[in-house]
Amino acid sequence: MPITPPPYRIKVVEPIPFLSAGERRGALAEAGYNPFNLRADQITIDLLSDSGTGATSAAQEAAAAVGDESYAGARSWFRFHDEIAELTGYPHILPVHQGRAGERILFSALLGRGKICVSNTHFDTTHANVELLGAEARDLPCPEALDFDSDEPFKGNIDLVALEELLGGPDGGRVGLVLMTITNNGLGAQPVSMANLQAVRALCDRYGVRFFLDAARFAENAWLVREREEAYRNLTPRQIAHRAFQLADGCVVSLKKDGLSSIGGFLGLRDVNLFAVCEANLIATEGFSTYGGLAGHDLERLAVGVREVTDPAYLQARAEATARLARRINEAGVDTVQPAGVHALYLNAGRLLPHLSPAEFPGHSLGCQLFLDGGIRCAELGSLYLGTMDEQHRLLTPAPFELVRLAIPRRVYSEEHFEYVADVLADIAKSPERIRGYRIESAPPVLRHFKVRLAPLS
């Protein structure tokens, strides 16, 4: 099969740094062995996040040039509003500067001490925003989600049996909302099927609970639905995304992903009373409701971006590129969560480094090695991020898996960059036993992975 080339060519480029191995060693030590503390100009290939890291198009930049920076009622707001309203079908749209601002505003209206937010898997900041309100973030991923080798098509689904047990059980009255993350970024970039969303809708109706989407990757989920769910084969990704939004009562969306822009987000709502509460909070904390912390030029880039992102040619080329990278990595002897997602690949570090215990953070060790050997930056998703620890930062409960996420920025890297990543990994896979573990030196109480400092074990 011939490969699908991306439906664009490159017009503006940016140089990337190539440090020597010695310089990389020094840089990582200075960063406390935490890739989040590295300077971007020390990194050759940055796969830390697909958030805000995409390339914009000529059409987006042209639109940005005519951005209207009026404080209230800017022309750019109406362009943004109309695009989002058409995509989602929601009557009420609030702009926010990024996804977590929307989470904070929505959750402060629906959650509080004693309440529960239920999800297929909460994203890290989403989890934190639930718990900062004194509420509980409960994840109910489907059982297949933890079988990383199975190629079940919709491992992002929520466990419907467990959800019904919760909603109908003694804790049911405490559930403030069900939040479905599409695609499931916290657990292998796996998509959620439309059938699963429909079933969640039905359960929420039966038990009188609100149902929201965390739809940062609404276009990529729609693409995978089209590829994998029979009944949707003949719909466009945009039509599928619209139907997903229509199943829910509203959404919180980070547009730093499928908005193809460096900043932005929105809240979409049906309920006018909830909208009024959220709008008041937005004005007090983010900005007036026609800009919500965004500049007019951001709103313009986003209005174009949310349309470009559902282009089937773009989505197909991107999905294929990620799948090709996964195949190369698998052939080199490194297992990844199957099937390959679109925005990221998850390396099974626990399996590659069986000589390291969870308390030695195999995922983190592999991530550090990718930087030391190839200047590649990525993020751990394992016991460093998810494990529970005591005051001395000793691991009490390990995570159920030790993964490393290679996030793929949109429209940024070419085939040769991906080949380079696969080559560096292939080299590591030849003698993985040389990789050492790490111990924590200091860590903050919440969102540990962002600011933790470590030291290599001798």
Ligand X SMILES: *Cc1c(COP(=O)(O)O)cnc(C)c1O
Give how far the C-alpha of residue 118 lies from the chain's centroid of Cα atoms, to the nearest Å: 17
User: What is the residue type of 431?
Assistant: S
Tell me the residue nearest to ligand X as measured from the CB.
99
124 is catalytic: yes
Q: Which of 265, 292, 293, 374 binds ligand X (CB under 6 A)?
A: 265
In angstroms, the CA 227 to CA 115 distance is 37
Q: How far is the CB of 410 from ligand X (least distance, A)?
A: 13
Q: Which of 48, 84, 216, 304 binds ligand X (CB under 6 A)?
A: 216
- Please say which residue, 24 or 343, places its beta carbon nearer to ligand X: 343
What spatial distance separates the first Cα and last Cα of the chain, rounded to whole Å? Answer: 48
Tell me how many residues contact ligand X (CB under 6 A).
15
- Please say which residue, 344 or 395, places its beta carbon nearer to ligand X: 344
Q: Give me the catalytic one of 90, 123, 154, 385.
A: 123
In angstroms, the CA 185 to CA 214 distance is 10
Q: Give me the catalytic one of 256, 257, 297, 364.
A: 257
Q: Which of 185, 261, 348, 365 binds ligand X (CB under 6 A)?
A: 185
- Restricted to residues 240-259, the positions that interact with ligand X (CB under 6 A) are 254, 256-257
Answer whether 130's CB lies under 8 Å from 107's CB. Answer: yes
Q: Which of 46, 139, 214, 249 binds ligand X (CB under 6 A)?
A: 214
Answer whether 51's CB lies under 8 Å from 77's CB. Answer: no
Answer whether 105's CB lies under 8 Å from 94's CB. Answer: yes
Q: How far is the CB of 258 from ligand X (least distance, A)?
A: 10
Answer whether 232's CB lies under 8 Å from 246's CB. Answer: no
Q: Which residues lie across from 119 on neighbouring strands?
A: 139, 179
Distant-in-sequence, close-in-space partners of 387: CB < 8 Å, separation ≥ 6: 358, 395, 396, 397, 398, 399
364 is catalytic: no
Q: How far is the CB of 126 from ligand X (least distance, A)?
A: 5
Q: Give me the catalytic one of 21, 40, 71, 280.
A: 71
409 lies in the binding site for ligand X (CB under 6 A) = no
268 lies in the binding site for ligand X (CB under 6 A) = no
Q: How far is the CB of 409 from ligand X (least distance, A)?
A: 13
In angstroms, the CA 339 to CA 323 distance is 8
- Please say which residue, 220 or 360, places its beta carbon nearer to ligand X: 220
φ and ψ at 441, to 5 degrees?
-100, -40
11 is catalytic: no
DSSP 8-state class, residue 187: G
φ and ψ at 240, to 5 degrees?
-65, -45
- Please say which residue, 31 or 216, places its beta carbon nearer to ligand X: 216
Tokens 């290679």 belong to residue: 406
- Please say which residue, 133 or 202, places its beta carbon nearer to ligand X: 133
- Please say which residue, 27 or 94, places its beta carbon nearer to ligand X: 94
Q: Give me the catalytic one of 46, 50, 124, 335.
A: 124
245: closest CA among 215, 274, 220?
Answer: 215
- Restricted to residues 23-62, the positions that interact with ligand X (CB under 6 A) are 51
In angstroms, the CA 221 to CA 313 distance is 15
159 is catalytic: no
Distant-in-sequence, close-in-space partners of 29: CB < 8 Å, separation ≥ 6: none
- Restricted to residues 76-135, the positions that interact with ligand X (CB under 6 A) are 98-100, 123, 125-126
Q: How far is the CB of 231 from ligand X (least distance, A)?
A: 25
- Helical (H) or strand (E) element with 453: strand 453-456
The percent helix, strand, coil of the chain (3-state, each to 5) is 45, 15, 40
Q: Give me the catalytic one of 214, 249, 298, 335.
A: 214
Residues in the chain, overall count: 458
Q: How far is the CB of 356 from ligand X (least distance, A)?
A: 28
Quick one: tokens of 364?
């983190």
Active site residues per annotation: 71, 123-124, 214, 216, 257, 449
Residues lying near ligand X in the complex (CB under 6 A) are found at 51, 98-100, 123, 125-126, 181, 185, 214, 216, 254, 256-257, 265
